Amino acid sequence: MRQRMQGLVLYCSKYGTSKAYAELIGEATGFAVCAAANARTVQSADAVILCGGVYAGKIAGLKLLKKNAAKLQGKKVAVFAAGLSPADERTTAALKRNLTGGLAGITLFYGRGAWKSGSLKSGDRFLCRLLHGMLAKKDASQYEEPWMQTFMESYGKDCDFTDRQYLLPLLEWLRS
């Protein structure tokens, strides 16, 4: 009989989607769940999953993994990124560019998240307004990153694409 894996699910979430995904992973695996900013140790875990929100193509929380790269050696480590872009190869390839240096070998999973225009903090609302203005000047065919099209389609609306199905590849990976 195989011993149950000890795991830790860290999350870095501004608006709650990454936290929700982290809690779903915790329910499915029995792993402890905590905010990335409060994670004191990863040493006792066999597996570490970081759930990070995607903001303008960057995955939140990667600094914690970089800071603890030595402690992660020999462990099963993955990043589950939650963002607004479609869950396709183009989005995943763009997000993998975040995994540089000591993070290059980490497995990346992606799931769509939520966008709640009314709950944006004032600074984020201001930056989104600026970004919308810049992107509106371009033809959609000129968008370099996958999130740009989705951002423009979602701007000013509330959208929630959160779905447990996005976690299935991660859960299968943990079992392998």
Task: Give the distance from CA 163 to its chain's centroid.
Answer: 14
Tens of pLDDT, residues 11-33: 998 889 999 999 999 999 999 99
Give the helix/strand (H/E) hosting 48. strand 47-55
Task: Give the distance from CA 35 to its chain's centroid.
Answer: 13
Tens of pLDDT, residues 34-82: 997 777 678 889 999 999 999 878 999 999 899 888 888 889 999 999 9
Tokens of 82: 């939650």
Tens of pLDDT, residues 87-120: 999 899 989 999 988 898 899 999 999 988 778 7
